[in-house]
Amino acid sequence: MDASNYLYISALLFTIGAVGVVVRRNAIVVFMCIELMLNAANLSFVTFSRINGNLDGQVMAFFTMVVAACEVVVGLAIIVAIYRSRRSASVDDASLLKR
Amino acid sequence: MMQLALEVGQTATPEAVMFWILGPLAVVAALAMLLVKKAVHSAILMAFVMVVLAVFYIAQDAVFLGIVQVVVYTGAVMMLFLFILMLVGVDSSDSLTETIKGLRPIAITAALGFGGLMVSLLGRATLGRDAVGLSAANADGNVEGIGYLLFSRFVWPFEVISALLVTAALGAMVLAHQPRSSKKSTQRQQSINRFRGESLATAAGLPAPGVYARHNAVDVPALLPDGTPAPNSVNASLKARGDMLDSNTFDLKKISTQVEEEK
């Protein structure tokens, strides 16, 4: 087995996450799909780190994890704030700018 | 033996077995995450994918990242997701109906194109190239290696990211903060309201909701001694949600009291 198989699976997971962001309507599920995309990117960072034989990729993946944690905290706070004002967690309902 | 196999650039057989079992499972779980209806099920499947990724990290000599993945993602982030899910509640936005017309076929076509492009690009970029392996970089230990990099070459990004964490925590506090709309009533004020309010009838407290043997019953109003239900015995928020049951259905008159003769 070649180490690049991990890269293929990372590409697949990233694509699935992207489809989820577009297709699903629940804001929390959309958010989880974004997390899936970040995780897929992390997997390719780790794999490239192994292919190239240095630890830079792992440090980058570590930074990505911290940024993802920040993003989850702020994003979920936004979802809770929207839910408080509009009583819905659907991404279709927050469309004040359109009307 | 593991080290030898890594040096040649090919992964060892146990890793291949692990990959071909867990890899398809992760992809199937990720696909199911899109297809299941309930957000809670999506969260569980997401946690599974994250654990599989942690195993992949550890298999690829990224021990520290594998542990961090389990602790931070499946531990903290997924718990936060589940917490918000429980707070926000499961509502109608869980339905899988297509709200924008023609979105789904377009999204799937674009995804097939994008995925095919990524896989073919990756195949061209790495085909025929041997993996170096991390046995040299991890010679002093994986945590030591990452720590050395973090505090030498990447010390500036590391500091910036700490500022980002503090900012995110502050931002979440500001966003989630909600000022009180009314002043909190003191114990003295509550006592005055109770005894000098509209009537003395509720001075001793409201009646407790009925507990019937046939129903688990905070949502059933109590029956007063004259047989009429007392709606104020049920919690106001249950009433507002429409979860209050009619206590007439639990009336003993409705139950058949006839005893059939046994043969």
Residue at B16 is within a domain: yes
What residues contact B68, with CB distance under 8 A and at least 6 apart? A62, A65
Could you tell me if B44 and B63 are in contact, meaning their C-beta atoms sit under 8 angstroms apart?
no
User: Could you tell me whether strands B222-223 and B229-230 are parallel, antiparallel, or unpaired per DSSP bridges?
Assistant: antiparallel
Q: Are residues B46 and B158 in the same domain?
A: no
B121 domain-assigned? yes
> How far does chain B reach from its first CA to its final CA, in angstroms?
79
- Do residues B35 and B158 share a domain? no
- Residues B116 and B241 grouped into a single domain: no
pLDDT higher than threshold 60 for residue B2: no
* Inter-chain residue contact B154 with A54, CB threshold 8 Å: no
B95 pLDDT tier (thresholds 50, 70, 90): low
Residues of chain A positioned with their CB less than 8 A from the CB of B114: 15, 18
Q: Check whether residue B117 and residue B21 sit in a common domain.
A: yes
Beta bridge partner(s), residue A26? A90
Q: Which residues pair with B230 in a beta bridge?
A: B222
Closest CA to B79 of A20, A12, A82, A73: A73
Q: Are residues B155 and B221 in the same domain?
A: no
ipTM over 0.90: yes
Q: Residue B145 sits in which domain range?
A: 137-163
Which residues fall within 8 angstroms of residue A72, CB to CB, at 6 or more apart? A31, A35, B77, B80, B81
- Give pLDDT, residue B91: 60
Two structure tokens written together for A57: 């990729």
Position B27 scores a pLDDT of 95
**A24 interfaces chain B, CB cutoff of 8 Å:** yes
- β-strand partners of B222: B230
Return d(Cα B5, Cα A35) in angstroms, integer. 33
Q: How many CA atoms lie within 13 A of B129 on its CB side?
A: 16
Residue B48 lies in a domain: yes
Assigned domain for B78 exists: yes
Interchain proximity B88–A23, CB inside 8 Å: no
Question: Which one of B27, B33, B36 would you mutate to disrupt binding with A, by most A Cβ within 10 Å of its Cβ?
Answer: B33
Average pLDDT of the residues in B241-254 = 70
Name the residue with higher pLDDT: B217 or B101: B101
E strand or H helix at B230, and its extent?
Answer: strand B229-230
**Mean per-residue pLDDT, B28-42:** 91
B165 SS3 class: helix
In whole angstroms, give the CA distance from residue B156 to residue B160. 6
CB A4 within 8 A of CB B126: yes
Binned at pLDDT 50, 70 and 90, residue B8 comes out as very low
Q: What is the pLDDT of residues B139-183, one digit of tens each?
A: 888 899 999 999 999 999 999 999 999 999 999 999 888 888 888
User: Looking at the domain assignment, is residue B79 inside a domain?
Assistant: yes
pLDDT of residue B248 exceeding 90, the answer is: no
Residue B263: pLDDT above 70? no
CB-CB under 8 Å, B50 with A70: no
A6 vs B: CB within 8 A: yes
Confidence band, pLDDT 50/70/90 cuts, at residue B21: very high
What are the DSSP calls for B76-100, one per residue? Answer: IIHHHHHHHHHHH---GGG----SS
**Does the pLDDT value for residue B220 go beyond 50?**
yes
Claim to verify: residue B53 and residue B121 sit in the same structural domain: yes
Domain map (residue ranges) of chain A: 5-86
**Within its chain, how far is the Cα of B25 from the centroid?**
20
Interface probe for B, chosen from A5, A7, A21, A23 (most Cβ of B below 10 Å), is A23
Quick one: pLDDT at residue B56?
94
Contact A33, A71 (CB under 8 A): no
The CA distance from B65 to A59, in Å, is: 9
Comparing alpha-carbon positions, the chain B residue that sits nearest to A45 is B57
A72 touches chain B (CB under 8 A): yes
| Domain count across chain B | 3
Of the candidate ranges A50-54, B6-10, B91-95, the one whose mean pLDDT is the lowest:
B6-10
Q: What is the mean pLDDT of residues B183-207?
A: 83
> What CATH number corresponds to the domain at position B58?
1.20.120.1200
**A98 near B CB under 8 A:** no
Q: Are residues B117 and B152 in the same domain?
A: no
> Quick one: pLDDT at residue B213?
61
Q: Are A57 and A49 in contact (CB under 8 A)?
A: yes
CATH number of A5-86, picked from 1.10.8.350, 1.10.287.3510, 2.130.10.10, 1.20.120.80: 1.10.287.3510
Question: Which of the four pLDDT bands, split at 50, 70 and 90, describes residue B258?
Answer: low
Contact A13, A40 (CB under 8 A): yes
pLDDT, averaged per 10 consecutive residues of chain A (99 residues), comes to 86 94 89 94 92 90 93 91 82 76
| B40-91 pLDDT per residue, tens | 899 999 999 999 999 999 999 899 999 999 999 888 899 999 988 888 876 6
**B159 and B111 share one domain:** no
Residue B7 belongs to a domain: yes
Q: How far is CA B212 from the centre of its chain?
A: 35
**B29-39: average pLDDT:** 91
Q: Are B156 and B124 in the same domain?
A: no
Asked whether residue B16 falls in the same domain as residue B53, the answer is: yes
Task: Say how far apart CA A51 and CA A63 lie, in whole Å.
Answer: 20
Is A37 in CB contact (< 8 Å) with chain B? no
A61 touches chain B (CB under 8 A): yes
Question: By the 8 A CB rule, do B92 and A91 touch?
Answer: no
**Rounded to an integer, what distance in angstroms lies between the CA atom of residue B162 and that of residue B158?**
6
B9 and B127 within one domain: yes
Q: Are residues B81 and B145 in the same domain?
A: no
Average pLDDT on B24-46 reads 92
In a domain, B260, yes or no: no
Of the candidates B49, B60, B71, which has an alpha carbon nearest to the alpha carbon of residue A32? B49
> Is the separation of the CB atoms in B77 and A69 below 8 Å?
yes
